[in-house]
Structure formats: C-alpha cells, structure tokens
Chain A
Amino acid sequence: MSVVTLTINGQLVSARAGDTILTAAREAGIDIPTLCYVDGLSAHGGCRICLVEIAGSPRLQPACFMKVGEGMEVQTDTERLRGYRRTIVELLFAEGNHICSVCVANGACELQDMAITVGMDHDRFDYIHPNRQVDLSHDRFGIDHNRCILCTRCIRACDELEGAHTWDMAGRGSHSKVITDLNEPWGESQTCTSCGKCFMACPTGAIFQKGDTVAETDHPRAKLEFLVNAREKKQWNV
C-alpha cells in the first residue's frame, strides 16, 4: 500500500493513498467538523459542513469524500470556511422546526453541538415553519420529521448495516422526506426488523426511542405516597 504526504493546515501529514482527507486529518489529530458522515457508513457528501480548501483547486471539496493526494495543501479552518459552516447550520435550523427545550435530544444532539462549534448565537434567516408530520406507529420508535435534517444517515445505516433498506428518501428539494417502505407508516413496515440502527445513526431528535420523550416522562407519584406512609404510619412494605 502506498503512502502519500500532504499538509493539512500547514502540518505535514502522511496518509494511505486512497484515504479521504477526513480520515487523514483525524488520524493526525486534526478535527474537521462533520454532520452527515458517520464512521462505518458510506459517505454522502450532502451536509457540506466538512468542506475544505485545497490549494490550486477552484472548488471547495468535502473532506469526507475527497481522496488525499501527494503534495496536497489542505486548509480546514479558514475564516471563509467558518463563515460557510455557520451559514449551513443556520439554514438547517431555519428549514425545520427545532424547539430544543422540549426535544428528546436536547443536550445530546449533534445539530445543537454543531451550532455551538460554529458559534451560532442566533439565526439570521427567516424560520420557514414547514408543516411536517410525526409518525408514532412503530411500537418501539418514533420519527418527528420536524427535527430531521435529511442527512440520510438512517437510510444508509438501515441499508448498509442491517440490510433491510426500510428507509429511503422521497420528494425533492425542501419537500424531501425520509420514508419507510413505500411511504407507509413505520409501524406497518414489512421490512423493518426493529433493530434500532436508524435510531443509533440519527444525529438529532428526529428518530427517537419511545419512552424517551418529555411527554412520556414518567412522574412516579406513588413514591410520594410511599414516603408519607413510611414517615407517618411507619409502613415500609407496600
């Protein structure tokens, strides 16, 4: 296997020929932000968060796709790239319906984290407030399309790891939507094995496990009664 040398942010890095810039950078301890890329799944190239500058190339290239080349000079964190990344995240927030305070993923969401990484303190774009659906027909999982960023991680995980290919994309442009089977309710899917790999792959609160949502939070009132009985009636057994 041949090895190539390149520079990333001025740092000399050696990489296996055929590796992507992302792999080479991460192995060298240089972090490039990503959103649609997940280790172990094929690259998608859709979110554009990982775009990098390559000296001599007029186009920005996605680090998750672009292969390393001998003598390549890559910049991953310029002023310009930071600006574009922030705009991408703002566009994502504006196109969906994200109300973090009541979201299952609040605090454990890659979109939120990315907003912090890119320094998004407010959104400069109009919120579109699209009319999107929630599908709770599956007995273990749910999908809230309001929080879906169309990264296709669920589709790839289901297809490439589980081999079920339950998920796919329907519609186009801002009307794109992930669907199960032929746009049937998830709970009626003939192909879903309920393995949960889509849930594991989803970066946001779009796909969630039942029981995790705020509304489903169990408030065990019986505990209060137990405590009162224990104190006042000295009853410890239920």
Chain B
Amino acid sequence: MELTDLLDIAAKERQARPPHLIRCCTAAGCLSAGSAAVLDRLRGAVHDEGLTERVGVAAVGCMRLCCQGPLVRVDSPVASSGTEGVGMKEELYQRVTPDDAGSIVGGFNGGTVTANKGDLNSAFFQLQSSVILENSGRVEPERIETYIAAEGYQSLHRVLRNFTPAQVVEEITRSGLRGRGGAAYPTGVKWATVAKNPGEKKYVVCNADEGDPGAFMNRSVLESDPHRVLEGMAIAGYAIGANQGYIYVRGEYPLAVQRLHTAIAQAGRLGLLGSHIFSSPFDFRIDLRTGAGAFVCGEETALMASIMGQRGTPTPRPPYPAEHGLWGMPTLLNNVETYANVPTIIRRGADWFASIGTEKNKGTKVFCLTGKVVNTGLVEVPLGTPLRKIVHDIGGGAPDGGTIKAVQTGGPSGGCIPAELFDTPVEYDSLARLGSIMGSGGMIVLDDKNNMVDVARYFMQFCMDESCGKCVPCRAGTVQLHRLLTRILEGRAGAEDVQQLEALCDMVKHTSLCGLGQAAPNPTLSTLRFFRHEYEALLKPGSPAQRMGLPLVAPVSANRPR
C-alpha cells in the first residue's frame, strides 16, 4: 500500500457514491430503537422504486440526538445560484419507523414524506463542534473505504513519511491535548515518557472500558468511527516505538467489539496495520481484549493485569505503566477519545488544535448528556464552554416544566454542580475547583424531583458494588458510607451521623489504593457542599439516646462509687 493506492480507494469510493444519500444510524442507541429494520426497509424501498442509481443507503454511526432515534438523514444535491455548482441539502428525520421508510424513499419520486422531520438548524446541532465526531454519522463504520474517502489513514502515512518519532511526540505536546479518560494528564508528556523509557518491547493500550453510569462517548466513537482509533493508536505506536497495541473493550459493548474486529481485519487486509505499513519499516498490530464487566478494570493497573490474564485488581503506583507496564515493559495507556483526536491533530496541525478551547484545556470534548433534559445524546463542544450553554441551549433545558437543580459530572468519581454555578466553563480545572471532575464526559442532569442524598447514595452503592475488595478503606468503607447514607435517607439519623459520614469520606478518599476508592466519596462530599440543607432536612434532632426514647440519666461516672 502506497499513498497513491490510498488516494485511489478514496477516489473510487467517491465516484461510486450515488448523488443522493440516505444515512441511517446503526449505533447502539438507534439500533435499540429499531433502526436495523428501518435500514432494511430503506434499502428494500430504494430497490423497489428503481432508485439504486440515484440513491444510496448508508449504515452510519451516531448522529448525536440519540433520544429521537432512529435517526435518518437525507443528503440531496441542489443546484446553487452561485458559482460553486452543487450544494447539499440535508434533511433529518427522527423517530423513524420501518413504515416511514417507504415515504422517505418515495420522496425522491415526488411523493410526500410523512416521517417526523427533525430540525438541523436547532441549537442542539448548530452550537456543536466536530473534531472527534467529524466522521460520526457520515462514514460507514463497517466499510473502511468510507473512512479512507474521508481522508482516513493519511495522517498515519504522513507521520511515517515526514515525521521522526520525536517529532510526532512534539506535535502532540504542542497541541496541548490532555488525556480524555478522566485524569487529564498531558498526552504529549506521557508519550515522551514512554518513548524515553528503555525496554526491549513497548506496548500501546487503548482504554475502552467506559464503565461510568450514564457515559457512552467511547462506545459511540467505536461504533461509529472505529478506524480513527486504530489510526491514532498506530501513530502512537510509531511515536513511542511499539509494535503491538491492545484495545481493552468492555464486554457489555458487543457491537463495538464486532465493529473493531471488522475494522482491524479490514485495515490488516489493506496493509494499514501489520508489517511494513506503507512500505516503511514500521510494523504495528492491534489485538482486542474484552473485559468481563468490572468498573475497576478501567483503572490502568487493573486493566493491564486483566490483559495479562490475571485478576483485575489495581496495584500501587509508582511504578507507573509508562515505566513498568504490560509484562514489565514501558506501556502507553490512553483513552479512546484521546487516540481519536490524534489523526486530526496530525492532519490539521497542533496550532489549529491549540486554537480551540481555553488556555490550559485545548480541543473539544464529547459529553453524554442524559437525565432530566429535553435533548439527550452526544454533545461535542470546545473545552471551556459554559455548563449553561450545554444544558440549557444545546440540551434544551428541563422537560415538562421541571426545574433543573444540578448537573452531575464525572460519574461515580465526580460531583454535582448546582444550577447557580452553571456559568462555570466546563474544563478540567474549573470543575475540580468545585469538587467535581469532568471525568470521561458523563453529564447527568438532575431536576427538583431528585433528592441529592438519594443521588449520593446511588453513586455510593455503585462504588460499593464495583469495589474490587483489595484494600480495606474502599471495600469496607464504602459499605459503611452506604449504610450511613441509607440511614440519613430513611430519616433514622442525627447530626452525629453526618459527622461520621464526613470523617469516613475523608478517610476513604485519602487511604484507598486506587482511584475508585479515592474518588468514591466525591459525589457525597459535593452534595454535602452544595446541598447540605437536603441532608439536614432529613435529620432527627437530639442525641441518639433521646431519639431512641431512652430516659435521660446522669453520666455513668457520676453514679459510680469511687
């Protein structure tokens, strides 16, 4: 495979494309709403109406407004008045049923389309960016040709031909990209460390374990545009001197696993993975490892143990994976979205990337907006976008006249930002100052019907159930924290229980072995910080003895003869 071959594939793919294109979402959200049948009927209808020459049907990935799925988009060329020739008219249909398919296709033969129209000019679409999701909903995840037609694998070619490994690292460093898995560690620094650490073999690992409740950003990327992640990993492999990559996907994502399998096989067949990529001396292969359903396996040391076939429990760091990772070798571990940024950074340049976002938080971030908000789905915005814009403008505010009270960010490791602070720019550091974290991008909107103690208890239960059990503070501490929260919620607690809750939160946070335990108290602490009144409203007055109705007696020591 040479560059000309790649450009050939791209040209052929573009030529073969009929002028009109119907794109049907086949990511998990829409599939669960029945989009597979819609796709079938669309294809059938195009065939029956004799439109195969004029109209193509593409099985694409997520188009962001998942709550209105199945989504179908129709692109039609329109003659524009200017000099540019043909423009594109895009139409969105939502909650499409299989029976709507006929009418959508009939539209090309002059029929009336009765399917529900969506609004592509709404704030939800207009206020969003497209970097990580630039191909999502456009390319067909199961056909590598469509990715190549979208300039795919050209960045890999470019680094192999024009960059030294050190220059790749330099480019990533200059872009200001920070890890998207939660800890926001500067990606360039991490790459440089792994590149410099000596080792006879090195590994590239992609963390696709995404276990936070309410988060599905990584899943969407893998299901909609898997090649982008493979290309990012191969570039990383070249930069740090690795020939082997692993993608650790959670087993609960069967569609992502299947599409990755297909993508790896297709890239291998074209020589874009494997030996002598683009006739260079660079070899790189990628294998999949599937998790068996443990949140803790997203933690890097547990993840590596799991890849090596051991029980997925964390080990104390240092040593860090960059020095002592898989089989003791220097290992680069990044999140799906981190790798997904890489091909674009190489294609458009570090300066372009660094021009997006804020001073210390470059680029865009994909969020999963869920909960009590009108538009739920995927949202990509520049870092530093105020929370209000995401929740109220893009998200469309609360449904059914409710009042939004807070947004939970960062899942079980994060916290709740109250509505008064919605002008906060969403970036790693500002959220951390509020006692929350951006995490991997989950955003759960809460309204006035959500009791914050209940929210805190929900996340504590999650951490308790997902604790690996290795260290005492997390294993036994979360159990006690959960009991305390339950006692408060059930109205059986007094002020002293809240004191104990706070003391134990402090202890679990500071003594647990890994990030799971260290962050488990965060949702509780942040609701205590901003919604303490909700806790206090549930407390019973008096001392424990008074609450049990015991008679007041003088202290024991005073009665006892000396």
A interface residues with partner B (beta carbon < 8 Å): 44-48, 51, 59-62, 65-67, 83-84, 87-88, 91-92, 94-95, 124-126, 128, 149-150, 168-169, 171-176
Contacts and interface: CB of A to CB of B under 8 A. Distances in A.
Contacts of B475: 95, 150, 173-174, 176
A156 to B, nearest CB: 13
Contact of A126 (B311, B477, B483, B510): B483
B316 A91 contact: no
B507 A87 contact: yes
A47 B476 contact: no
A45 B315 contact: yes
Nearest to B466: A173
Contacts of B504: 87
Nearest to A61: B316
B469 A48 contact: no
Contacts of A48: 471-473, 511-513
Contact of B480 (A51, A84, A91): A91
A128 B296 CA distance: 24
Contacts of A171: 469
28 contacts: A45-B316, A45-B471, A46-B513, A48-B471, A48-B511, A48-B513, A51-B511, A59-B510, A62-B316, A65-B316, A67-B318, A83-B507, A84-B511, A91-B472, A124-B500, A126-B480, A150-B475, A168-B311, A172-B294, A172-B466, A172-B467, A173-B465, A173-B467, A173-B469, A173-B475, A174-B464, A174-B476, A176-B475
Interface residues of B, number: 31
A141 B316 CA distance: 33
A52 to B, nearest CB: 11
B340 interface: no
A54 to B, nearest CB: 12
Nearest to B467: A173
B467 A174 contact: yes
Given A95-B475, A172-B467, 15 more contacts: A45-B471, A46-B471, A48-B511, A51-B511, A59-B510, A62-B316, A88-B511, A91-B472, A128-B479, A149-B472, A168-B311, A171-B469, A173-B466, A174-B479, A176-B469
Nearest to B465: A173
Contact of A92 (B469, B472, B510, B511): B472
Nearest to A86: B507
B476 A46 contact: no
Interface string B448-491: 00000000000000001111111111011111100100000000
A206 B341 CA distance: 52
Interface string B487-505: 0000000000000100110
Contacts of B476: 91-92, 94-95, 174
A181 B475 CA distance: 24
Q: Sort A-B residue pairs by CB-CB distance and give the 6 closest, nearest first.
A: A176-B469, A91-B476, A173-B467, A95-B476, A45-B316, A65-B316
Interface string B293-336: 01010000000000000010001101000000000000000000
Given A48-B511, A172-B294, A173-B475, A94 B469 contact: no
Contacts of A174: 464, 467, 469, 475-476, 479
Interface of B: 294, 296, 311, 315-316, 318, 464-473, 475-480, 483, 500, 503-504, 507, 510-513
A45 to B, nearest CB: 5
Contacts of A67: 318
Nearest to A176: B469
Contacts of A128: 479
Contacts of B318: 66-67
Contacts of A88: 472-473, 511
Nearest to A35: B472
A212 to B, nearest CB: 26
Nearest to A174: B479
A31 B505 CA distance: 28
Contacts of B503: 87
Given A65-B316, A94-B480, A173-B466, A47 B507 contact: no
Contacts of A168: 311
Contacts of B471: 45-48
A174 to B, nearest CB: 5
A21 to B, nearest CB: 12
A95 B507 CA distance: 17
